[in-house]
């Protein structure tokens, strides 16, 4: 039938003018009986003729016919579409769609094609849609096939590949036809060839097709059945437990059901009277053994079914075999599919490793951004700033406020970055002047005082912006993700954060190593007294350094806010991790912070990979690991040596 | 003749007398034993506050005397609470389950009872199996042992690791904070075996005392808390006095110098850290039956930092300071956040203390750190005759060493 459609379609595409001389009604009238009372066997003739006609209304007609919207007038056998008009029907011409009159319901008969017919119509319809001149309809048809693949779609799809003018859609059709062929082609050779062709595609739907072919069914029998396509034989106690094995036997009617502890209990309850079961007082029945004994007494009297003994159950389990059999009968096909799937899975694993690496890099860059400001204030200056997280939060809220005034997201981010730096720089300088400089020799007090500032700032943010999360929307060009294949994908926003982290690394290293300020910072850090006698003002340097570290925290806040939500507690989420990053990396060294962030990022993603559903556990284990790590390298990964160490 | 313990520590007698008077006063005013001027819930609040005072003096010993700013003592407090909570919850559920199962025709087997308890307790986290850590939950004695042993062992192992590798100062603080964070994150998981973020609840119902009214239970716990606080105060006053106390304070002021004098600094620190952790666990075990519920949020790092805040505001390095700080700040905090404080109308803006209390606390904390390092306890110096040591210059040469202006003890 499909071949006929194919030829006819080719003909009518070549010479549409010849066929269009007819109209639908006349074609249908020539097969009046077959249309009015369609059957799966005979409907092919009608469909072939309809296809041959090349009439533009054919697809529409087929759809309506399938959906039981076609009516036949009893007196003259003409076909109409109808719309309900009260109790009457308005008749519409099937060619023009115009109203031709009204009729009462009993003068017409609704045509209700059965399932087989509807299926035939549907596949003819697919053919029409796949070759529709409108690309949107063709795409929709391809989408529909991809959603639910069935055997009868294969031929029309293959037929529709060559005439496809759009290259992208043609590629999709070819790929889809390949998947259909792997599942539904007629010959073993064709299917094996199609499966092999799929083996270099790691996408999810191809894996689904192959897994579908490799579906197995677990079964049990006295011996392995002849001719079955066995995937694996199962060993009791290793692949399946004895309980499962026995349950399979019961399901297959190969063994009687066992009497469970709860069965015994309900049997005893049912047979209890006057506080006794089978002459045993119920008070003594509070162990499983006692209950079993009484149950056996009842069974011996014939009141309840006999229990199967453990030995008998064991014998039954041992005298049967358990296996997974492929639903697909042909071993050549399952073998090819297994081979293809194994190859694909190896590649998927490689891709997953690459994806995990990207994820870890991205997490590391977020930790790095959060910690780099701390690397300056804590690492270089030795000041514990528990309010560092709140500076991150201030930066993020600055971004949010800027977006309230500047609706253009790109422009607002460009404004927000320096503004966040300015705001947190000012806050940092103010904090240094007002609080920290009085506490330079009392680090524990610094910790507590900055913590006081931290809770005050957090509550202040809550009072101003409310407790709900505020959005910080990224520009449209940062939406979406860089998709390499079905497994490897990374969102642009994460790439941007990564790039930002790199820029800051370079910037900080440059400032500390190559500028006058950096030189003075290092001098003041090592020996304030000596630096002062060389004409450096330590107060000013401390103030500027602290401001710099805080300012960077502000910019990190904008970046983190873009990818996570802005809340008053966002800083607190990062503060412990940030300190960990600095301590693990090695205090006093920006490269150490980089190493620390990389290690923590990779470690966390690595642990998450072992237990993907549980990020809480990953964090727990990571912190434990860090505590142990500090035991063995108390000075961090990159330990300062010599005079710079400052001890 | 060597001066006696009490004459060396005059504050002990004063404190015990004040605590006794306070307990007596509350007893007279409570519902169950007196006039009823104090509601049951307020008696509970006072009892809880006494437990917080107990952990605060533990914190004071480890921080104010020994110089270890531990940001993890609330974890030990929480562990103590969980340990007693497990027995409370198990025993109570057992009573309920046994009662409901007694109606069955055939008496239940032991295993069936345990399974039913498991379903009751762990139903909220989609499980019914008893995790291994509940192995002793049916025995009050063993769980009481856990209250002491688990915090003690954890502190011992953690402290040994940390002090051995000479992690000191802020690094140690961050490390203890990390430990607390790890513990609370772990407990937040549903499969941690302690009901995830649901925590343990219904702890105010004491098994075996179902018929005793809560007013009586609350005053009993209040007495127990007062007793524990009194004993804890005596214990810590003993630890921090005499030669041992001098060594401990020496470690605070200059660890290296004490080490060069031949003392094994790590052992002293480990002893103080572990002992205070055990006391923290006991305080927690008394606190949570009065609170009625414990969940992992109680263990979050922020709680331990608040503990440090109390001690700092009350005055470090003196036990009564810690008690004053904990009582003052926690009661004030519940007064402000509970809406007890009147709003302040500034014309353009009305300050609602429920919103602004934390801002006030944070800022006053900064102010205390900057301007009154001795805290509220420092006020007592004005009335007490204190021997001012004749020392010159700063006490220790290092960063972090106690400065002259704060070290007058």
Residues on chain A touching B366 (C-beta within 8 angstroms): 435, 449, 452-453, 456
What band does B228 get if pLDDT is binned at 50, 70 and 90?
Answer: very high
Which B-chain residues 76-115 have CB contacts (< 8 A) with chain A?
104-111
Q: Residue B118 is part of which domain span?
A: 5-337+372-383
Q: Do A118 and A143 reside in the same domain of the chain?
A: no
Q: Do A170 and A294 reside in the same domain of the chain?
A: no
Interface check for A388 against chain B (CB to CB < 8 A): the answer is: no
Q: Inspect the interface and report whether the beta carbons of B373 and A445 lie closer than 8 Å.
A: yes
pLDDT for the residue B147: 92
In a domain, B409, yes or no: no
Q: In this structure, how many other beta carbons lie within 10 angstroms of the beta carbon of residue A25?
A: 15
> How far apart, in whole angstroms, are the C-alpha atoms of residue B216 and residue B400?
48
B1: pLDDT strictly greater than 50: no
Q: Which own/partner pairs from A424-427 qualify as long-range (CB within 8 Å, at least 24 positions apart)?
A: A424/A391, A424/A394, A424/A395, A424/A398, A424/A550, A424/A551, A424/A553, A424/A554, A424/A557, A425/A547, A425/A548, A425/A550, A425/A551, A425/A554, A426/A547, A427/A391, A427/A394, A427/A550
CA distance A117 to chain B (A): 49
Q: Do A105 and A165 reside in the same domain of the chain?
A: no
User: For residues A633 and B262, which has the higher predicted lDDT (pLDDT)?
Assistant: B262
Mutate to test the interface with A, among B105, B368, B404 (most CBs of A within 10 A): B105
Q: What is the mean pLDDT of chain A?
A: 82
Of the three residues A538, A572, A606, the one that is the final residue of a domain is A572
In a domain, A599, yes or no: no
> How far apart, in whole angstroms, are the C-alpha atoms of residue A602 and residue A290?
57
Region A303-314: mean pLDDT is 81
Helices within A199-287 (DSSP H only): 204-213, 242-251, 261-271
A514 contacts: CB under 8 Å, gap ≥ 6: none
- CB nearest to B400's CB, from A285, A444, A459: A444
In a domain, B355, yes or no: no
Q: What DSSP designation does B317 have?
A: T
Query: Phi and psi for A568 in degrees, rounded to 5?
Result: -70, -15
User: For residues B7 and A512, which has the higher predicted lDDT (pLDDT)?
Assistant: A512
Residues on chain B touching A462 (C-beta within 8 angstroms): 355
Which B-chain residues 140-169 have CB contacts (< 8 A) with chain A?
158, 161-162, 164-167, 169
> How far apart, in whole angstroms, are the C-alpha atoms of residue B398 and residue A441?
8
- What are the tens digits of pLDDT across the range B33-91? 878 788 888 899 999 999 999 999 999 999 999 989 898 899 999 999 999 999 999 99
pLDDT for the residue A633: 78
User: For residues B206 and B389, which has the higher predicted lDDT (pLDDT)?
Assistant: B206
Region A64-77: mean pLDDT is 81
Q: Do A360 and A374 reside in the same domain of the chain?
A: yes
Q: In this structure, how many other beta carbons lie within 10 angstroms of the beta carbon of residue A267?
A: 21
- What are the tens digits of pLDDT across the range A459-516? 999 999 888 888 888 888 878 788 877 778 888 888 888 898 898 889 888 988 889 9
Q: Do A60 and A96 reside in the same domain of the chain?
A: yes
Domain count, chain A: 4
Q: What is the mean pLDDT of chain B?
A: 85
A542: pLDDT strictly greater than 80: yes
In a domain, B359, yes or no: no
A569: pLDDT strictly greater than 90: no
In a domain, A327, yes or no: no
* Least confident piece of the model among A373-377, B340-344, B403-407: B403-407
Interface check for B303 against chain A (CB to CB < 8 A): the answer is: no
Q: Do A208 and A64 reside in the same domain of the chain?
A: no
In this structure, are residues B152 and B146 in contact, taking their beta carbons and an 8 Å threshold? no
- What are the tens digits of pLDDT across the range A401-430? 999 998 888 888 889 999 999 999 999 999
Q: Inspect the interface and report whether the beta carbons of B169 and A460 lie closer than 8 Å.
A: no
In a domain, B31, yes or no: yes
Residue A159: which region, alpha, beta or left (left: phi > 0; alpha: psi -120 to 50)?
alpha
In a domain, A423, yes or no: yes
- What are the tens digits of pLDDT across the range A371-393? 888 888 887 777 888 889 999 99
Q: Do A159 and A35 reside in the same domain of the chain?
A: no
Q: Do A79 and A12 reside in the same domain of the chain?
A: yes
Among residues B10, B29, B17, B46, which one has the least CA distance to residue B230?
B17
- What are the tens digits of pLDDT across the range A6-32? 555 554 444 444 444 467 788 888 888
- CB nearest to B106's CB, from A269, A454, A627: A269
Domain count, chain B: 1
pLDDT for the residue B37: 82
pLDDT for the residue A12: 47
Of the three residues A525, A553, A572, the one that is the final residue of a domain is A572
B315: pLDDT strictly greater than 90: no
What band does B266 get if pLDDT is binned at 50, 70 and 90?
Answer: very high
Q: Do A370 and A466 reside in the same domain of the chain?
A: yes
* ipTM score for this prediction: 0.81
**Which parts of A473-534 are beta strand (E)?**
481-483, 489-491
Instruction: Please state the length of chain B.
Output: 409
In a domain, B302, yes or no: yes
In a domain, B363, yes or no: no
In a domain, A604, yes or no: no
Among residues B78, B37, B38, which one has the least CA distance to residue B55?
B78
Q: Do A107 and A166 reside in the same domain of the chain?
A: no
pLDDT for the residue B2: 56
CA distance A377 to chain B (A): 14
Q: Do A113 and A183 reside in the same domain of the chain?
A: no
CA distances from B120 to B127, B148, B391 (A): 9, 27, 64
Q: Do A120 and A178 reside in the same domain of the chain?
A: no
Interface check for A492 against chain B (CB to CB < 8 A): the answer is: no
- What are the tens digits of pLDDT across the range A434-467? 988 888 777 778 888 888 899 899 999 999 988 8
Q: In this structure, how many other beta carbons lie within 10 angstroms of the beta carbon of residue A396?
A: 30
In a domain, A230, yes or no: no
B258: pLDDT strictly greater than 90: yes
Q: How far apart are the first and last CA of chain B?
A: 22
Map residue B195 onto helix, strand or coil.
coil
- CB nearest to A445's CB, from B104, B359, B369: B369
Map residue B108 onto helix, strand or coil.
coil
- CB nearest to B366's CB, from A443, A449, A579: A449
Among residues A327, A314, A195, A199, which one has the least CA distance to residue A249?
A314
- What are the tens digits of pLDDT across the range A32-59? 877 777 777 777 788 777 777 767 777 7
A641: pLDDT strictly greater than 70: no
CA distance A519 to chain B (A): 23
In a domain, A117, yes or no: yes
In a domain, A255, yes or no: no
pLDDT for the residue B409: 47
Of the three residues A304, A324, A359, the one that is the final residue of a domain is A304
Edge-to-edge strand order for the sheet containing A321-326?
A: A216-221, A321-326, A230-234
pLDDT for the residue A19: 42
In a domain, A582, yes or no: no
Q: Residue A403 is part of which domain span?
A: 349-572
B403: pLDDT strictly greater than 70: no
In a domain, B93, yes or no: yes
What band does A304 get if pLDDT is binned at 50, 70 and 90?
Answer: confident
pLDDT for the residue B54: 95
Q: Inspect the interface and report whether the beta carbons of B105 and A624 lie closer than 8 Å.
A: no
pLDDT for the residue A618: 77
- CB nearest to A463's CB, from B161, B162, B356: B356
pLDDT for the residue B232: 95
């Amino acid at each position: 039938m499909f071949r006929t459609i194919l030829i006819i379609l080719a003909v009518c595409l070549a010479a549409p003018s010849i066929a269009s001389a007819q109209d639908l009604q006349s074609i249908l009238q020539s097969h009046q009986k077959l249309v009015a009372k369609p059957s799966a066997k005979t409907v092919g003739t009608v469909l072939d003729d309809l296809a041959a006609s090349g009439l533009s209304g054919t697809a529409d007609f087929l759809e309506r016919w399938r959906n039981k919207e076609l009516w036949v007038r009893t007196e003259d056998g003409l076909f109409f579409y109808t719309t309900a008009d009260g109790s009457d029907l308005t008749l519409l011409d099937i060619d023009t769609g115009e109203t031709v009159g009204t009729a009462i319901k009993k003068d017409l008969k609704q045509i209700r094609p059965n399932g087989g017919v509807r299926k035939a119509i549907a596949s003819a319809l697919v053919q029409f849609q796949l070759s529709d001149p409108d690309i949107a309809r063709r795409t929709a048809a391809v989408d529909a096939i991809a959603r639910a693949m069935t055997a009868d779609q294969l031929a029309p799809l293959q037929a529709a590949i060559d005439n496809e003018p759009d290259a992208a859609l043609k590629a999709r059709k070819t790929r889809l036809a390949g998947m259909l062929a792997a599942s539904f082609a007629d010959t073993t050779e064709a299917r094996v060839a199609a499966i092999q062709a799929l083996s270099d595609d790691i996408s999810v739907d191809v894996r689904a097709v192959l897994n579908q072919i490799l579906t197995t069914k677990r079964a049990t029998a006295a011996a392995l059945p002849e001719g079955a396509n066995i995937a694996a034989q199962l060993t009791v106690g290793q692949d399946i437990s004895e309980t499962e094995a026995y349950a399979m036997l019961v399901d297959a009617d190969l063994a009687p059901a066992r009497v469970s502890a709860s069965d015994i209990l309900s049997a005893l309850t049912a047979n209890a009277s006057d506080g006794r079961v089978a002459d045993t007082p119920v008070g003594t029945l509070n162990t499983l053994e006692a209950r079993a004994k009484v149950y056996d007494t009842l069974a011996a009297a014939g009141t309840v079914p006999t229990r199967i003994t453990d030995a008998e159950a064991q014998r039954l389990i041992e005298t049967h075999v358990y296996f997974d059999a492929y639903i697909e009968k042909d071993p050549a096909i399952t073998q090819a599919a297994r081979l293809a799937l194994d190859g694909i899975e190896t590649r998927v694993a490689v891709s997953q490793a690459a994806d995990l690496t990207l994820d870890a890099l991205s997490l590391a860059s977020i930790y790095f951004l959060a910690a780099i400001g701390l690397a300056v204030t804590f690492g270089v200056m030795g000041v514990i700033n528990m309010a560092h997280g709140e500076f991150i939060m201030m930066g993020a809220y600055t971004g949010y406020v800027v977006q309230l005034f500047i609706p253009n997201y790109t422009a607002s981010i460009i404004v927000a970055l320096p503004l966040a730096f300015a705001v947190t720089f000012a806050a940092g300088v103010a904090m240094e002047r007002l609080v920290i400089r009085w506490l330079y020799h009392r680090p524990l007090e610094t910790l507590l005082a900055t913590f006081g500032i931290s809770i005050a700032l957090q509550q202040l943010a809550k009072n101003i912006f409310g407790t709900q999360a505020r959005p910080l929307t990224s520009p449209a060009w940062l939406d979406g993700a860089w998709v390499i294949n079905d497994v490897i994908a990374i969102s642009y926003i994460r790439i941007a954060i990564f790039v930002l982290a790199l820029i800051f690394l370079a910037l900080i290293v440059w400032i500390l190593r190559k500028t006058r300020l950096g030189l003075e910072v290092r001098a003041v850090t090592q020996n304030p007294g000596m630096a002062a006698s060389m004409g450096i003002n330590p107060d000013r340097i401390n103030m500027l350094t602290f401001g710099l570290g805080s300012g960077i925290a502000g910019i990190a806040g904008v970046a983190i806010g873009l990818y996570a939500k802005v809340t008053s507690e966002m800083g607190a989420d990062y503060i412990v991790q940030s300190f960990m990053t600095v301590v693990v990396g090695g205090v006093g060294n920006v490269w150490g912070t980089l190493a620390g962030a990389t290690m923590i990022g990779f470690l966390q993603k690595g642990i998450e990979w072992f237990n993907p559903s549980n990020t809480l556990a990953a964090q727990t284990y990571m912190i434990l690991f860090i505590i142990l790590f500090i035991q063995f390298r108390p000075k961090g990964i990159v330990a300062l040596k010599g005079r710079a160490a400052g001890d | 003749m060597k001066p006696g313990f009490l004459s060396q520590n005059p504050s002990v007698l004063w404190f015990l007398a004040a605590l006794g008077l306070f307990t007596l006063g509350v007893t007279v005013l409570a519902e169950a034993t007196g006039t009823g001027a104090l509601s049951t819930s307020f008696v509970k609040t006072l009892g809880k506050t006494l437990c917080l005072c107990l952990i605060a003096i533990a914190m004071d010993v480890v921080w104010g005397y020994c110089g270890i700013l531990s940001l993890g003592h609330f974890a030990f407090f929480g562990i103590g609470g969980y340990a007693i909570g497990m027995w409370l919850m198990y025993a109570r559920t057992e009573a309920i389950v046994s009662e409901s199962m007694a109606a069955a025709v055939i008496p239940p087997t032991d295993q069936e009872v345990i399974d039913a308890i498991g379903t009751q307790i762990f139903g909220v986290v989609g499980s019914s199996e008893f995790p291994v850590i509940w192995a002793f939950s049916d025995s009050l004695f063993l769980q009481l042992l856990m209250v002491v042993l688990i915090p003690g062992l954890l502190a011992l192992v953690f402290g040994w690791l940390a002090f051995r590798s000479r992690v000191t100062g802020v690094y140690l603080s961050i490390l203890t904070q990390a430990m607390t964070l790890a513990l609370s994150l772990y407990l937040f998981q549903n499969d941690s075996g302690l009901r995830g973020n649901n925590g343990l609840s219904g702890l105010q119902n004491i098994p075996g005392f179902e018929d005793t009214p809560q007013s009586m239970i609350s005053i009993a716990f209040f007495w127990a808390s007062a007793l524990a606080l009194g004993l804890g105060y005596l214990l810590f006053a003993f630890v921090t006095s005499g030669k041992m106390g001098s060594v401990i304070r020496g470690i605070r002021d200059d660890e290296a110098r004490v080490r060069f004098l031949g003392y094994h600094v790590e052992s002293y620190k480990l002893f103080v850290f572990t002992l205070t952790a055990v006391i923290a666990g006991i305080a927690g075990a008394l606190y949570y039956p009065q609170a009625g519920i414990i969940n992992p949020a109680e263990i979050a790092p922020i709680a331990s930092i608040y503990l440090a805040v109390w001690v700092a505001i009350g005055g470090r390095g003196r036990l009564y300071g810690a008690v004053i700080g904990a009582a003052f700040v926690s009661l004030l905090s519940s007064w402000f956040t509970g809406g007890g404080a009147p709003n302040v109308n500034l014309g353009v803006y009305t300050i609602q203390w429920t919103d602004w209390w934390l801002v006030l606390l944070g800022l006053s904390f900064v102010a205390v750190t900057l301007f009154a390092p001795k805290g509220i306890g420092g006020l007592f110096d004005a009335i007490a005759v204190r021997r001012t040591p004749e020392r010159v210059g700063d006490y220790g040469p290092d960063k972090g060493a106690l400065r002259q202006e704060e070290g007058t003890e």
